[in-house]
Copies of this chain bind each other. A is one copy, B any other.
Amino acid sequence: MSPQNAGEPSPELIFETFNAYQRSAALRAAIELDVFRAIGEGPGDVDSLARQCASSGRGIRILCDYLTILGLLAKEEGRYRHTPSSALFLDPRSPACIASAARFLGDPVLSAPFARLAEVVRNGHTVLPGDGSVEPDNPIWVEFAHGMAPMMGALASPLAAIVLEGLAGPLRVLDIAAGHGLFGVEVAKLHAEAHVTAVDWVAVLEVARGNARKAGVEDRYHLLPGSAFDVDYGGPYDIVLLTNFLHHFDVPTCIGLLRKVRAALKPGGRAATLEFVPNEDRVSPPVAAAFSLTMLANTPGGDAYTYRELQAMYKDAGFGGITAHVIPRSAHTVVMGLA
């Protein structure tokens, strides 16, 4: 997102915003048609791409031109090729490919409230039934665990390094709302004496268990199915991970949960959230700040909280030594407090 409010008034940004839904559709269609694999395999001319993607030449040419306009492909002398980002993140032959995120981010359940966004703004909360995306056993979290693993997995190594820094010996780790499980799994991989207990809905934990198995840490990976608000965490733990979780809830709910987390930690134990943390102006940086709208649309009271707000929640829950760690080349920040 690049604010274009400088200079002479122009209707172009407005026209582009009316049509911005087409961008999501184009990216999703390209992933469905396996365009990014074909681009990587080459040679990148329209006829070859059409053949590789079992598509019409007209359709491929217009789609690839559009992706080029978006900056998701490059075009030179009539041939399409990858940009550095599309090669790394959209070509399924790349280990860092995040194309599977299309399923979760384009889930019709989560996008439905945007068709009724005026009503959402009037009400101040989701128009989804019940608690929206955070309704118990909502099947979207299985989709999240599958589809978002590659996008989130890139954050696992920096997160694990932050929470493990300076620790040695046996560690007990609680991974709340574990999802794909990659954060806890990474801690287990980096720290051979760490035992990880993952909390999530039972169907989601199957995905996490699969990832623990693939990583070879299943013997130190334990499942605790149920709601993070209701289950007995056991403990005490050295580390609690609370990744992409607090943003779904209002401030009192977050504080209540953080109190429960603190009670499950050893004295001096670490509670680490991974969050979109906008600046205090709430309009920068763009990706982190824009995430508030997703929470408005999909939850009863969630938000992208500023560092000051997260700090206050931690303090209210009895934590000290609160620190923020921006993860480079990402829109995420780790906020950590000590019990």
Footprint of B on A, CB under 8 Å? Answer: 1-5, 8-29, 32-33, 53-63, 65-66, 68-72, 74-75, 83-90, 98, 101-102, 105-106, 111, 114-115, 117-118, 120-125, 151, 154, 281-284, 286-287, 289-290, 292-297, 301, 303, 329-331
Given contacts A15-B287, A20-B23, contact A29 B121 (CB under 8 A): yes
CB of A229, distance to nearest CB on chain B (Å): 22
Query: Once the chains bind, are B9 and A123 in contact (CB under 8 Å)?
Result: no
State in angstroms the CA–CA spacing of A70 and B293 once bound together.
12
What are 14 A-B contacts defined by CB distance under 8 Å?
A2-B2, A2-B71, A5-B71, A13-B70, A17-B70, A18-B102, A18-B105, A25-B115, A33-B122, A56-B121, A58-B124, A61-B282, A63-B293, A69-B290
Given contacts A17-B23, A17-B70, A294-B19, contact A9 B84 (CB under 8 A): yes
Query: Once the chains bind, are A1 and B70 in contact (CB under 8 Å)?
Result: yes
Q: Which of B4, B11, B14, B120 has a CB less than 8 Å from the CB of A59?
A: B120
Chain B residues near A23 (CB-CB < 8 A)? 17, 20-21
Chain B residues near A105 (CB-CB < 8 A)? 15, 18-19
State in angstroms the CA–CA spacing of A151 and B19 once bound together.
14
State in angstroms the CA–CA spacing of A160 and B27 once bound together.
39
Which residue of B has the minimal Cβ distance to A292? B62
Given contacts A21-B21, A66-B290, contact A16 B32 (CB under 8 A): no
Query: Once the chains bind, are A5 and B329 in contact (CB under 8 Å)?
Result: no
State in angstroms the CA–CA spacing of A60 and B283 once bound together.
14
Q: Which of B3, B10, B14 has a CB less than 8 Å from the CB of A329?
A: B10
Chain B residues near A293 (CB-CB < 8 A)? 22, 26, 62-63, 66
Query: Once the chains bind, are B9 and A20 in contact (CB under 8 Å)?
Result: no
State in angstroms the CA–CA spacing of A53 and B119 once bound together.
11
Chain B residues near A15 (CB-CB < 8 A)? 101, 105, 151, 287, 331
CB of A11, distance to nearest CB on chain B (Å): 5
Q: Which of B14, B154, B295, B296 has a CB less than 8 Å from the CB of A89?
A: B14
CB of A127, distance to nearest CB on chain B (Å): 11
Chain B residues near A101 (CB-CB < 8 A)? 14-15, 18
**Which of A21, A111, A330 is the most central at the interface, judged by chain B CB atoms within 10 Å of its CB?**
A21
Query: Once the chains bind, are A12 and B84 in contact (CB under 8 Å)?
Result: no
With A13-B72, A21-B25 already in contact, 15 other A-B pairs whose C-beta atoms are closer than 8 Å: A3-B69, A4-B71, A11-B89, A12-B287, A14-B27, A16-B290, A17-B24, A17-B70, A18-B28, A19-B105, A58-B296, A59-B123, A65-B283, A69-B283, A69-B289
State in angstroms the CA–CA spacing of A106 and B163 once bound together.
46
